[in-house]
């Protein structure tokens, strides 16, 4: 079973004559306990072109110390990483290989650096003897396995203990700085080893991003951001991290929407087929996300009812429904991520970034092109909203409102993608459209929830249970949907105010 540990640490340069000061005087530190010296032997793995290092990931196989095994470190924020540990084995465990798939794709990981470290460890303790942080002085010898480079250095690491206050790291850093010890320029041992033994990963070429100020430059920056999000959230979804499925699905939708919005900038002959694959991926992710949202909504609605209106084993029935569907949805998502189709999509996205299919409009002024695109998406939204509001309440109107929701999402994304170029007008445009989208989204959630409640009522009746509670909830959802329909015209009036759109072109 793999183990995950949140690693919060800071690294410092230790010159040849640097001496770690007495840390007993650090506020909050009552004692410093010497834990002795250990020898660590680690081989770091990467693709030949160092794709993992380029994304600040590290993969190693380490012996010695208290945590021998395979370690994969994924960045969370500056100075914070999630370290996923798998038992020591001769070959890379499949669980870790899956987490690397979106980055390495068809490439094998090979040994790139060998590190031998002599680690002198000290524990910083509070008045109760509880661990606050671990300070280690590491004497490191590095050898490049894909070349002839060697390097050696000494560094200091201070790692926060589980559940300890991060303020202790600030206090220790202040103490170290007074002693002339400065933060390290290298974020990790691997980064330092690569830099000192022949260089790290090649930087992403900038020639293919278009000229700054042009539509091509602005659109490709947004496209790159979404592609990087899809790649980064792949392992997060596999780890079942909170909101990971939702965030990955949003990135696929944003990217697909950008391909449609900026058809004059990017060649449809290239982007349309990719867009279809993004639609497939979003759909597979949606099985899990939609079920997650629906189950949460059903739970909340049931909890809101007074006890007198909850008749029969309603909580048990809802729990059984949620568990079985969540497991099925999880299997669907993992099967999609493990499929050759997903891998092919990632390859096509990488190829698009390497050789962007820019059209003539890509060379035009970004502000003009992006504003026109946002206007066009808004006009499309206006047609759908007007059509929906003209219909009588009922299934046909529900469907029309759902189609308007899709158009609202696309117009919102157009505004958000234009924000770096158009500034506050684009922000305001996107905010107003988002309010419309949220209303339409809540309405669609109500429609879907009513259908689920109807199914629950049928199942309860067939099992000889009372269907009364499900009927009550159905009625409440119907009322909520009607309230949202009454709210929509006012939100639409605010979003469609002429000055909101006019500001985009100024």
Cα 234 versus chain centre, distance: 8
Per the listing, tokens 């004059």 go with 264
- The pLDDT score that the predictor gives to residue 10 is 94
- The pLDDT score that the predictor gives to residue 180 is 87
Q: What is the DSSP letter of 148?
A: S
- The pLDDT score that the predictor gives to residue 211 is 83
Q: How far is CA 470 from CA 302, 308, 321, 448, in A?
A: 9, 13, 14, 14
Distance CA 414, CA 432 (A): 13
Of 40, 190, 195, 192, which Cα lies nearest the Cα of 116? Answer: 40
Contact between 101 and 133 under an 8 Å Cβ cutoff? The reply is no
Domains of the chain: residue spans and CATH: 3-196 (2.40.320.10), 204-363 (1.20.120), 365-506 (1.40.20.10)
Of 254, 202, 203, which Cα lies nearest the Cα of 225? Answer: 254
Q: Residue-wise pLDDT tens for the chain (506 aa)?
A: 578 999 999 999 887 666 788 888 899 999 999 999 999 999 999 999 999 999 999 999 999 988 899 999 999 988 899 999 999 999 999 999 999 999 999 999 999 999 999 999 999 999 999 999 999 999 999 999 988 899 999 999 999 999 899 999 999 999 999 888 999 988 899 999 999 998 888 665 444 566 889 999 999 999 999 999 999 999 999 999 999 999 999 999 999 999 999 999 999 999 999 999 999 999 999 888 888 889 999 999 999 999 999 999 999 999 888 888 888 889 999 999 999 999 999 999 999 999 999 999 999 999 999 999 999 999 999 999 999 999 999 999 999 999 999 999 999 999 999 999 999 999 999 999 999 999 999 999 999 999 999 999 999 999 999 999 999 999 999 999 999 999 999 999 999 999 999 998 86
- The radius of gyration of the chain from alpha carbons, rounded to an integer in Å, stands at 28
Task: Report the DSSP beta bridge partners of residue 110.
Answer: 46
Segments of 3-56 assigned E as strands = 3-13, 31-46
Q: How far is CA 415 from CA 179, 212, 354, 375, 379, in A?
A: 51, 19, 26, 9, 13
Distance CA 238, CA 317 (A): 28
- The pLDDT score that the predictor gives to residue 16 is 62
Give the DSSP per-residue string, 236-287.
HHHTT-TTHHHHHHHHHHHHHHHHHHTTTTB-HHHHHHHHHHHHHHHHHHHH
Per the listing, tokens 């094998």 go with 108
- The pLDDT score that the predictor gives to residue 322 is 84
Distance CA 382, CA 268 (A): 24
- The pLDDT score that the predictor gives to residue 14 is 81
Of 131, 167, 127, 178, which Cα lies nearest the Cα of 12? Answer: 178
- The pLDDT score that the predictor gives to residue 155 is 93
Q: What is the DSSP letter of 161?
A: P
Residue 81: φ, ψ to 5°: -140, 150
- The pLDDT score that the predictor gives to residue 118 is 94
**The model's pTM:** 0.90
- The pLDDT score that the predictor gives to residue 65 is 84
Q: What is the DSSP letter of 146?
A: T
Distance CA 209, CA 398 (A): 42
Distance CA 18, CA 13 (A): 9
Distance CA 227, CA 455 (A): 38
- The pLDDT score that the predictor gives to residue 326 is 85
């Amino acid at each position: 079973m793999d183990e995950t540990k949140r690693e919060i640490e800071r690294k410092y340069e230790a010159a040849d004559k640097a001496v770690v000061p007495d840390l007993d005087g650090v506020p909050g530190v009552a004692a410093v306990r010497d834990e002795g010296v250990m020898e660590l032997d680690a081989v770091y793995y990467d693709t030949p072109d160092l794709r993992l290092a380029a994304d600040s990931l590290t993969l190693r196989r380490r012996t010695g110390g208290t945590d021998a095994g395979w370690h994969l470190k994924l960045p969370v924020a500056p100075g914070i990483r999630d370290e996923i540990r798998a038992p020591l084995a001769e070959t890379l465990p499949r669980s870790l290989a899956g987490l690397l798939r979106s980055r390495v794709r068809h490439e094998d990981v090979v040994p790139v650096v060998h590190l031998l470290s002599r680690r002198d460890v000290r524990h910083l303790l509070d008045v109760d003897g509880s661990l606050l942080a671990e300070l280690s002085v590491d004497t490191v010898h590095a050898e490049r396995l894909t070349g002839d480079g060697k390097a050696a250095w000494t560094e200091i690491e201070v790692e926060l203990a589980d559940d300890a206050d991060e303020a202790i790291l600030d206090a220790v850093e202040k103490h170290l700085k007074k002693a002339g010890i400065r933060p390290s320029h290298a974020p990790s041992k691997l980064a330092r080893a690569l830099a000192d033994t022949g260089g790290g990963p090649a930087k992403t070429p900038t020639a293919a991003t278009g000229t700054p100020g042009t539509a091509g430059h602005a659109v490709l920056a947004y496209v790159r951001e979404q592609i990087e999000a899809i790649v980064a959230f792949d392992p997060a979804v596999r780890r079942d991290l909170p909101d990971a499925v939702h965030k990955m699905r949003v990135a696929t939708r944003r990217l697909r929407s950008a391909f449609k919005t900026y058809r004059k900038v990017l060649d449809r002959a290239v982007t349309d087929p990719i867009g279809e694959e993004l639609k497939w991926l979003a759909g597979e992710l949606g099985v899990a996300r939609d079920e997650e949202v629906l189950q949460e909504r059903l739970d909340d609605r049931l909890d809101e009812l007074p006890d007198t209106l909850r008749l029969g084993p309603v909580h048990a029935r809802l729990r059984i429904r949620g568990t079985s569907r969540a497991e099925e949805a999880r299997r669907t998502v993992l099967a999609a991520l493990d499929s050759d189709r997903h891998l092919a999509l990632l390859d096509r996205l990488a190829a698009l970034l390497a050789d962007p299919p820019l059209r003539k409009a890509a060379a035009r002024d970004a502000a003009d092109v992006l504003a026109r695109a946002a206007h066009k998406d808004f006009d499309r939204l206006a047609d759908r909203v007007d059509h929906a509001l003209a219909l009588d309440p009922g299934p046909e109107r529900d469907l029309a409102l759902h189609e308007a929701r899709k158009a609202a999402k696309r117009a919102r994304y157009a505004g958000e993608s234009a924000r770096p170029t158009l500034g506050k007008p684009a922000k305001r445009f996107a905010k107003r459209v988002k309010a419309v989208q949220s209303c339409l989204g809540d309405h669609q959630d109500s429609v879907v929830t009513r259908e689920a409640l109807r199914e629950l009522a049928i199942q309860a009746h067939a099992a000889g249970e009372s269907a009364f509670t499900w009927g009550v909830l159905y009625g409440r959802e119907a009322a909520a949907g009607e309230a949202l329909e009454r709210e929509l015209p006012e939100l639409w009036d605010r979003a469609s105010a002429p000055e909101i759109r006019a500001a985009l072109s100024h």
